[in-house]
Structure 1
């Protein structure tokens, strides 16, 4: 029964009510032996100079559940916490990636959000990416885990670290007000919402942002996909063009992220990865965050979208823009060339 429930937890409901499988690049390894992996890790971390390749081979090719079993056996064998051992043996981007893999996807999201609001200044880019791209269930889990890990309330932290309409948008998403997908297509509601978006923005002088926030954070994803199509019959611009004309700054970025994730979430992440590797020095924090958080979710689909959109594979782009052990870890998470 445990295996059945674990399998079912890997599935999500599509808007047609059918179960839709995930598209991970990291899947459970066959003939899994946590004690053997733990012993190999102990030897790799103990050796002078550290055997990074063995660490990469094991941790990037096991699922979170398997890594958790390895960590249990590692502590039994080495009398030391595996996370502590990794911190002591690794450094830089490779360390950040490996420590990320030792958390569950929800714990990782919660820790990224906490890090984005820690200390002076706020990393709006990280807040925006995570909050605007996760669904109701994921956000509910993140809130619960955030409280568990940091003894603080995510909503209160976001409200304290952001302001204005940007804060209102993020908080509306965190409050899980979005409708669940339905098999019933509400044609009148679609038309009403499309017209409301137009009348609250492009049609008038000044934007009624509250209308935009309400519709974009409360309607289901399939409904919004139809709304954005219908919107074109009212507006001379598509939804993204309208956003760029009407609002600026963090609010603009959040609305754009929301629209892009509604239209094609995997393409959104593919574009984020491409953007992170455009410049000479790759934005390793962004690369790590997306590769770690999506490798057990939909990285295979992100890879496909990357190739389609940018005419080269994600694998080859990683080869061109990163180096060393960090590159090897990313390539392993990537799961192959296209």
Structure 2
């Protein structure tokens, strides 16, 4: 781990992210270096700078680059760096909630819908964040996010994703919610409505008490109950939501274990300044291998260096 990171760690010890504000930050110097890197088509320099600056600092760099050169930094990077590392650098330049809107759009564009990514984002973002993401989505893509979600999903799963998009904390009684969920899985057919209503409208502390109570009452895990009583996309969505309520770090670590490039890259970028340290710990517990080591076995070149720069260190 580099010395500058230790200085940054001392300054930002409270965060659970791996990427922290770079101390002694001089955007003018960074822009000069970036201009040289673009001229020489040196992806290594771009990787070193952009993975060692916080997102807020990257926005300052982009603004300074624009003011200095009258060019858009993202466009300049796209012209010079291609492939996976080019995509990663462009994603690092997006403001956080713009990036989440981009991920949602990417999950719905083209043939087939990436239901798991939709659920990952909707389950791990707060109601306030999702309102901002919806507004940014409309601004960027000239479409209503809710309408797009409805068009890409159906049935109870569509109801679930829309309810998550508009999630809010409504007061509830733990025992009453336990009884409602229990009744919904004890009939001839599982009733989706109580699950959608309760799991998208209570705070996390309340929901964890409800899910623990349901497990004690039913004698099985919630995951087992959902697996038995529901089917299709709704079952998948509900299982993801439950996992994200119980332990989002473990769920995200599980997603990464498949080592599929887009999933690994987007989770690392999305969570780099929030809780990637927790995801690293969960990954180590799940696999017995540190995420830093696992990345080195799967990726290579400048793309690997960028991912390692975000991951930051061994565990």
Determine the C-alpha separation between the residues in 1 that align with 2:106 and 2:170. 29
* 2:174 aligned to which of 159, 165, 190: 190
Determine the C-alpha separation between the residues in 1 that align with 2:87 and 2:228. 38
Q: Which residue does 1:4 correspond to in 2?
A: none
* 2:184 aligned to which of 190, 200, 216: 200
1:41 offset after TM fit, Å? 0.7
Check the 8 A contact 1:140/1:176 in 2, yes or no. Answer: no
Say which is worse superposed, 137-146 or 111-120, in terms of deviation: 111-120
Check the 8 A contact 1:195/1:234 in 2, yes or no. Answer: no
Q: Where do 4+ consecutive residues of structure 1 move more than 6 Å? A: none
Say which is worse superposed, 264-273 or 290-299, in terms of deviation: 264-273
1:298 offset after TM fit, Å? 0.8
Say which is worse superposed, 74-83 or 229-238, in terms of deviation: 74-83
Gaps of 5+ in 2: 1-11
TM-score using structure 2 length:
0.92
Q: CA RMSD in A?
A: 1.8
Q: How many residues align?
A: 304
TM-score using structure 1 length:
0.86
Residue 314 of structure 1 pairs with residue 255 of structure 2: no
Report Cα offsets for 1:98-126 as digits up to 9, x if no partner: 11111111000001111222244322222
* 2:306 aligned to which of 329, 332, 335: 329
* 1:168 aligned to which of 139, 159, 162: 159
Determine the C-alpha separation between the residues in 1 that align with 2:72 and 2:205. 44
Check the 8 A contact 1:39/1:77 in 2, yes or no. Answer: no
Tell me: CA distance 1:108–1:89, structure 2 relative to 1, closer, same or farther (3 Å): same
Higher helix share: 2
Gaps of 5+ in 1: 1-10, 12-19, 181-185, 278-282
* 1:86 aligned to which of 73, 77, 84: 77
Check the 8 A contact 2:100/2:133 in 1, yes or no. Answer: yes
Which residues in structure 2 correspond to 1:1-338 (within 5 Å)?
21-47=14-40, 50-179=41-170, 189-201=173-185, 203-275=186-258, 277=259, 283-338=260-315
Check the 8 A contact 2:115/2:237 in 1, yes or no. Answer: no
